[in-house]
Structures are given as C-alpha cells and as structure tokens.
C-alpha cells in the first residue's frame, strides 16, 4: 500500500463548522481510503460528530483547541487572537512541522492567507502568495491564477505564477508541458498593461522546461479552454472568477424561470430531466470547490466558507492530489530550473512583438 | 413631431461592412422613424444596397469616401492613413461639426477610440475615455464601465466614471439617482486596491446630486443587478465582460449537448422549445450590442465588429436613446455640479471605514 496522505483539517472553519466538515471528511475517505486526517477544533463539539463515522474515527486523530477564527475576523485580528492557538493556525502548523502533508480550511480567506504566510513563509524567489482555481471549461479544466490572494503583479511575479500554475496543471491535467496564456484585453497597440507585456516577452524568450507559452488570452478564452493555465494578477483574476460564477447563477435562474412558464415547458423539463441533471452537475459550484494557495513553503487548500459536505470532500480531493503528486517538489524544481538557467533579463531589451 | 435624431453611420465598419450595416439601419428606422441617417462609405458599394430599402434611401444621405479603416489596422496606422478621409473619421467628424447628434461605427475599437479622441477631444475635467456596456442582469440591466477603453484609473477617474455612468443610467434605466457600486474583491483589510478605496471615500463623503453610492460590489453582483452602475477601470472591466460572455457561451453549449444526448431529452426540448427560445433571446449577444464611449465631447457608439443587421440595429437603438435624451448635457451638468461644489479633497484625510 502507498504511504498515506496526511491531511490537517480545520474542523471549525466555514459557515457551518464541524457539522459539514466531518461528514465531508468521511465522504472524502470513502473515495480515498489512504487519507489520514488530523482534525483541529473544539473536542466537545467535534468528537460527538466524529463518533458517528466509525471508519473516519478509527483512522483519524483530533487535536483539541477552543480557539476558533471567526468568518468576519480581519487578518490582523485573527493573528492577534489566534496565532499558535486557533484551529486554523494549528492546521497550518501541522504542515510546517511535517506532521501533515497538506492543510485544508474553510475559514476566512484573509485570515488563512495571513496565517499561512506567517507560519509557513514564502518559497525562495517568490515574494507573495497566489490562489489558484480549477475552472471548468468546454474542453475540461483550466488552472486560473491568481484569483485574489495578491493585488497587482510585476512581470517577474506573473512569470512565477506561470511556473507555479504549470506545476499544478501537470498534476491536475496530467500534461507534461501545459499551455500557458497571459490574460490581457486585446492586441491593439494602445491596449495591454505594461507588466503583462513584459511578462509575455520573458515567457516567450526564455525556454521554460515545464510549460509551453501560448501568448495572450482574453476573458472569453478561459471558458473555452484555449489554454491549460491562465495567468493574471489577483484583482482581475478574482473579478473574472466571481463574474463567471455570477453569470452561471444568472443563467441557471433564467433557465428555471423559462421552464416554469407554462405546462408545455414543465412537461419538456420532465422528459429532459436527465439532461438538466447533467447540466446542473456541471454548474454545481461544489464541484469546483477548493482554492490552492501557491508560493508558500507548504500546501494549503482553501475550501469555500459556505461549502456543505460535498463541497468539503471536493476540496479535500484537491488537497489529496496536490500532496499525493507532490506539488511542492514540482514547483521547487520548476522554479529552480527557471531562475538558475533560464531567466535572462538582458534579452528583455530586444524589441519583441509578442 | 419631435426633432429627428441625426445619426452618422460608418457604413464600412465591422467584419461585414455595408451588407449588414445598411439592413441594420433599415431595421432601426422601422422602430424609430424619426432617425435621419448619414452614411459614410464607398458609394459604389453602399448605394446599390441602400437602393433596396426605399424608406431608408428616401430619408438618409450618403457621403462618399473610398478610404476605409481595416479591422486589423493599429490606431496609429488608422490615424495616419484615414485621418480626415476615412469613413470612420468622417462619421465622427459629423458629430464634431454638429451635422449629426451621434456617431456609430463597427470598426476596430482601438482605431475608433483614437480617432474619436483626436477629432472630438475630451470633456473638461476628464482626461481619458471610457467605454460603457449595458449588461443584462437578473433584475434588468446594469451599466458597467470602463469595459476596456483605458487601462488603470486613479481615484478621481473612478469618481468621474461613476458620474458619467450615472448620467447614462438615468437615460437607460429611467432612474433619477442610480445606485452606483465600485467593483472590488472583498472587504478584508488586506484586499482592495488603493485607488478603489480612495474613490469609495470620495463617493461616500461627497453628496453627488445625481447618484446614490452603494459601496463595494464584487464580480458576482453584476449579474445579480445589485446596483444600477458598476464602476471599475478598463482592464478588470474588459476581463469581466469577456469572461461573462464566455461563460454564457460555455453554458449554452453544455445545454445543447445535454439536450441532444438521448431521445427523451430531445422530446423534452420540443415540448419546452418556447422556454428555450426565451432563454436564447436573453443570451443572444446581439441584444446587448453597442458600447458607449464616455468622456468625449460628442457621443460615439461602438457596434461589435461581428454584428449582423439585428446587432447593428440594437447599437443604433442605443445611439438613438443617448442622443434623444441628451446624454452629453446630462454628463456635463453632473460633472459641473460635482466638480464645482462637491469635491472636497481635505475630507479625504479623515479615516473612513468605507
């Protein structure tokens, strides 16, 4: 049997806490029996729930703490009140101490990011964290990053995002040299942000071993699956992600309204209900739950605060895969190759039409 | 009868040129008989098409030029080759010379923007143009700007966008004090770009007469119709717009695939075909065709390059409304009120939690 994947899980995170997180873990364990969970949270609440999942209780351990970060705590507040003591901190620290391979929390994003930075530190050559989303497309899936961990990015950071996102895509999409696109707003000369143009030149001129640079992509290319990895800074990336989710919700509501409008439509719905179930599954936000923090010296997965057990299990599945396929080593290897041999700033002076 | 609305139309713009633009104009004229068109383009091509639309031919005029801007001309190229001579330039110049109330072109965005800036100049107190889109939402419609005319924005420009977008919303949505939201990525303290925070304080502290400041909104709020006007800088705004369009296309394709999967689904589709027709109409990109340039001393509407006659007619309908309800005067009035009486920079020093 393979070595188990050890997952540290913040049992108190999210809007619903252990009542959905423990069932979510049980669900994930059914799919991946080689997970060993360590839960962090209030034992008086968590233990009774855990007791009703025999297999999970048998294979996991629970570390008690009665400090929990609230969903509306600001990052600075969370660090003041919960450093070294909260379930969120202890979950991350388990990775730091090599007691776990990956940490998962549905706690608030800002606090989780601040704690992860403080506890784990950044990787060499990376100065700020990123969050990567796995975005469903017509062709399959695309990694999009940064979806909101950091605002703004210079060219070097965008290149680092390309490298880290590609390492993740190698795992998620099982392609050796993922196609990488830089998000931009068209190719007319007055358009395009300076940093994005410079990053494009750097990606084109330097032969990065583990990625294949495609060029600029636009917002509409994400859902088309034009490339395997879409790179952008966190402000635009977060707005793209939230806008796409909002559009999916909006169209879903229009569809429901249209199908409820008269008897024929309702009958049609009944006949085609398998088709609608298939569509609903594709639009289910729980299936894309789980943001991966990148750039930190340890793997942390952010589950959505409003997730139920199904969503939690999906975030755990991402955590499992990132740990099982050793995301960190893949990133370190790619970064080392890129920074040692390939980056050649002098070439940047050359005129390039990319 | 009301004074007619005089529309200057670039007959050579877009991927299909006069073959869709003239029929589009004919369609628009059926709906709005009080339009008087002036077409600019190659008379040898345009006149024969125009001749097959009796009513349109009778009420419009055609100004010949054999210079046309290509869809792939760069802005600088377009200005060099087409200034004072091209159909695009002459269309804009008709507004400048007060021979038309509004200009419409499906020519390339970069060239159109460059020519409009050169020919019309900016309004007082506005230093760069913006493009506003009318975005369909669950509740109705929302004005989103800037969707790609300018990259980056300081706080004052964001405030100007709020004022100009509100003037447009007063016309499109017929509300006296539109609700305005600033696009941001969440309210945690580590998040939010500095310019957006400052603009938020300025909008909150100054009682602008013609708008009601709501606060920050996120990407998902656009489609919900949370506010009447969503303000952001052009890079993020363009990515949001293109991403939403891409998501709609993606879901449309998923729906078609799902409904074609088996006999029951196909039967269901037949029963519910009115419902699907309703949904299809809501998702039809032609219904949202027409970007409004703001900040210029004249109204210019950009029709999508790939538009057919229906899309062209919709862009003309927007042009009609903006001219009929005197968008420029509304913007000038709001800007004057805001800049003369309301903007009070010293207050910006006060701490504000907005």
B288/B281 Cα distance (integer angstroms): 11
pLDDT tens by residue, A228-254 = 999 999 999 999 999 999 999 999 899
Let me know: does A100 contact A7? Beta carbons within 8 Å. Answer: yes
Radius of gyration of chain A (CA): 21
| Residue A86 DSSP class | B
User: Is the CB of residue A233 less than 8 Å from the CB of residue A150?
Assistant: yes
A233-255 exposure pattern, b = at least 16 Cβ within 10 A, e = fewer: bbbbbbbbbbbbbbbbbbbeebb
B71: helix, strand or coil: coil
CA distance B325 to B270: 43
Q: Mean pLDDT across the stretch A73-97? A: 94
| Contact state of A191 with B254 under an 8 Å Cβ cutoff | no
Q: State the Cα–Cα distance between residues B189 and B303, nearest whole angstrom.
A: 40
Within 8 A of A189 by CB-CB distance, chain B residues are 74-76, 110
Residues on chain B touching A249 (C-beta within 8 angstroms): 220, 223-224
pLDDT band at A270 (very low <50, low <70, confident <90, very high): confident
Residues B198-210, mean pLDDT to the nearest whole number: 90
Q: What is the Cα A50 distance to its own chain's centre?
A: 26
Whether pLDDT at A142 is above 60: yes
Task: Write down the domain spans for chain A.
Answer: 1-120, 125-292+327-354
Q: Which residue matches tokens 């609230």?
A: A70
Respond yes or no on whether the N-terminal peptide bond of residue A202 is cis (omega within 30° of 0).
Answer: no
Among B187, B166, B183, B184, residue whose Cα is nearest residue B175: B166
Q: How far is the C-alpha of B234 from the C-alpha of B242, rounded, in Å?
A: 12
Query: Distance between CA atoms of B105 and B59, rounded to whole angstroms?
Result: 20
Mean pLDDT value of segment A17-39: 97
Classify the C-alpha dihedral B325-B327-B332-B334 as positive or negative.
positive
Those residues with Cβ within 8 angstroms of residue B90's Cβ, 6 or more apart along the chain or in another chain: B8, B40, B63, B65
pLDDT tens-place string over residues B215-258: 999 999 999 999 999 999 999 999 999 999 999 999 989 988 88
What single-letter DSSP state applies at residue B177? S
> Do A185 and B232 count as a contact with CB atoms less than 8 A apart?
no
Verify whether the Cβ–Cβ distance A220 to B262 is below 8 Å: no
Contact residues on chain A for B269, CB-CB shorter than 8 A: 268, 272
Q: What is the mean pLDDT of residues B110-138?
A: 93
Interface test with A, best of B244, B264, B273 (most A CBs within 10 A): B244
- Kindly tell me if the per-residue pLDDT of A271 is higher than 90: no
- A110/B188 touch (CB, cutoff 8 Å), yes or no: yes
Top mean pLDDT of A185-199, B103-117, B268-282 is at: B103-117
Residues of B in contact with A243 (CB under 8 A): 219-220, 222-223, 240, 243-244, 247
Mean pLDDT of the region A290-305: 96
**pLDDT greater than 60 at residue B131:** yes
Tens digit of each residue's pLDDT (9 = 90 or more) over B39-88:
999 999 999 999 999 999 999 999 999 999 998 888 889 999 999 999 99
Residue A313 has pLDDT above 60, yes or no: yes
Pairwise CB contact (< 8 Å): B224 & A265: no
Q: Exposed, middle or buried: residue A141 (CB in 10 Å: 0-12, 13-18, 19+)? A: middle
Place of tokens 């969903």: A71
Give B284's contacts (C-beta < 8 A, 6+ positions apart). Answer: none
What gap in Å lies between CA A212 and CA B163, rounded to an integer? 44
Q: Which fold has domain A125-292+327-354?
A: Isopropylmalate Dehydrogenase (3.40.718)
pLDDT in tens, B301-351: 999 999 999 999 999 999 999 999 999 999 999 888 877 554 544 444 334
Find, in chain B, the residue whose alpha carbon is nearest to that of A265: B272
Residue A339 pLDDT > 80: no
pLDDT digit string (tens) for B90-100?
999 999 999 99
Mean pLDDT score across all residues of chain A: 91
Candidates B244, B271, B275; nearest CB to A271: B271
| A-chain residues near B270 (CB < 8 A) | 268
Tell me which DSSP letter residue A59 carries: H
Spatial CB neighbours of A263, under 8 Å, sequence gap ≥ 6: none
Phi, psi of B66 (to 5 degrees): -100, 10
Residue B111 has pLDDT above 90, yes or no: yes
Distance CA A9, CA B223 (A): 34
* Predicted local confidence at residue A89, as pLDDT: 97
Question: Which residues in A lie closer than 8 A to residue B275 (C-beta atoms)?
Answer: 258-259, 261-262, 264-265, 268
- Helix A273-283, helix A263-271: angle, nearest 10: 80
Residue B15 token pair: 């991927």
Same fold, B1-120 and B127-290+327-354: yes
Q: For the beta carbon of residue B263, count every other beta carbon within 10 angstroms.
A: 8
Minimal-distance CA residue of chain B relative to A182: B239
3-state secondary structure of B61: strand
Choosing among B70, B72, B275, B291, which should be mutated to test the A contact, i.e. which has the most A CBs within 10 A?
B275
For B65, which DSSP code?
Answer: -
Of the listed ranges A265-279, B23-37, B299-313, the least confidently predicted one is: A265-279
Residue of A285 and B224 predicted with greater confidence:
B224
Mean pLDDT across the stretch B186-212?
A: 82
Sequence-distant (≥ 6) Cβ neighbours of residue B286 within 8 angstroms:
B307, B308, B310, B311, B314
d(CA B200, CA B40): 43
Q: Please give the sequence-ordered ranges of beta strands (E in DSSP) within chain A, or none if there are none.
A: 5-10, 35-41, 61-64, 102-105, 130-136, 141-145, 179-183, 212-217, 229-231, 291-294, 300-302
- The verdict on domain B127-290+327-354 having CATH code 1.10.4160.10 is no
Fold of the domain spanning A1-120: Isopropylmalate Dehydrogenase (3.40.718)
The secondary structure of A194-252 as a DSSP string is HHHHHHHHHHHHS--TT-EEEEEE-HHHHHHT-SSEEE--HHHHHHHHHHHHHHHHHHH
Round to whole Å and give the CA distance between B188 and B191. Answer: 5
| Closest-CA residue of chain A to B265 | A272
pLDDT confidence of A269, banded at 50, 70, 90? confident
β pairing state of A212-217 and A300-302: unpaired
pLDDT digits (tens, 9 = 90+) for A4-25: 999 999 999 999 999 999 999 9
pLDDT at B189 over 70: no
The enclosing H or E element of B203 equals helix B194-205
**Residue found by looking up tokens 């004022």 in the block:** B163
- What is the pairing mode between strands A141-145 and A130-136? antiparallel
Cβ of A272 and B273 within 8 Å? Answer: no
Distance from CA of B225 to the nearest CA of A (A): 10
Q: Which of B95, B115, B134 is nearest to B7 (CA)?
A: B95
CA distance B350 to B342: 16
Write the ipTM.
0.89
C-alpha A314/C-alpha A27 separation (Å) is: 9
- In the numeric block, which tokens belong to residue B185? 């990525």
Residue of B nearest to A138 (CA): B250
Q: Report the C-alpha gap between A299 and A231 in whole angstroms.
A: 19
Question: Over 70: is that where the pLDDT of B187 sits?
Answer: no
| Partners of residue A35 on adjacent β-strands | A5
Quick one: tokens of A224?
């088309």
Q: Strands B102-105, B130-136: parallel, antiparallel or unpaired by DSSP? A: unpaired
End-to-end CA, chain A: 49
Strands B35-41 and B5-10: parallel
Best mutation target, A110, A144, A145, A188, to test chain B (most B CBs within 10 A): A188
Nearest-by-CA chain A residue for B113: A190
């Amino acid at each position: 049997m393979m070595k188990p994947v050890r997952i540290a899980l913040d049992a108190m995170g999210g809007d619903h806490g252990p009542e959905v997180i423990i069932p979510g873990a049980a669900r994930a364990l059914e799919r991946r029996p080689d997970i060993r969970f360590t839960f962090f949270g209030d034992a008086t609440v968590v233990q009774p729930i855990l007791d009703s999942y025999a297999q999970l209780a048998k294979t996991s351990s629970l570390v008690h703490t009665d400090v929990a970060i609230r969903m509306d705590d600001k990052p600075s507040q969370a660090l003041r009140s919960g450093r070294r003591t909260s379930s969120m901190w202890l979950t991350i620290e388990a990775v730091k101490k090599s007691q776990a391979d990956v940490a998962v929390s549905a706690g608030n994003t800002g606090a989780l990011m601040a704690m992860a930075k403080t506890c784990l530190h950044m990787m060499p050559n990376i100065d700020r964290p990123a969050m990567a989303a796995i975005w469903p497309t017509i062709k399959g899936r695309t990694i999009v990053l940064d979806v909101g961990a950091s605002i703004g990015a210079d060219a070097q950071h965008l290149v680092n995002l390309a490298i880290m996102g590609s390492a993740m895509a190698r795992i998620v999409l099982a392609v050796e040299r993922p196609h990488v696109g830089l998000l931009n707003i068209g190719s007319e000369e007055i358009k395009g942000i300076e940093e994005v143009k410079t990053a494009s030149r750097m990606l084109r001129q330097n032969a990065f071993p583990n990625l294949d640079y495609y060029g600029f992509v636009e917002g509409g290319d994400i859902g088309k699956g034009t490339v395997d990895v879409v790179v952008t800074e966190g402000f635009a990336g977060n707005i793209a992600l939230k806008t796409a989710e909002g559009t999916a919700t909006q169209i879903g509501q229009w569809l429901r309204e249209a199908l409820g409008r008269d008897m024929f439509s309702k009958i049609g719905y009944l006949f085609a209900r398998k088709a609608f179930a298939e569509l609903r599954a594709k639009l289910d936000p729980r299936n894309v739950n789980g943001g991966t923090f990148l750039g930190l010296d340890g793997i942390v997965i952010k589950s959505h605060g409003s997730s139920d057990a199904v969503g939690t299990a999906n975030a755990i599945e991402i955590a499992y895969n990132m740990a099982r396929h050793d995301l960190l080593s893949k990133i370190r290897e790619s970064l080392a190759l890129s920074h040692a041999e390939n980056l050649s700033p002098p070439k940047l002076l050359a005129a390039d039409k990319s």
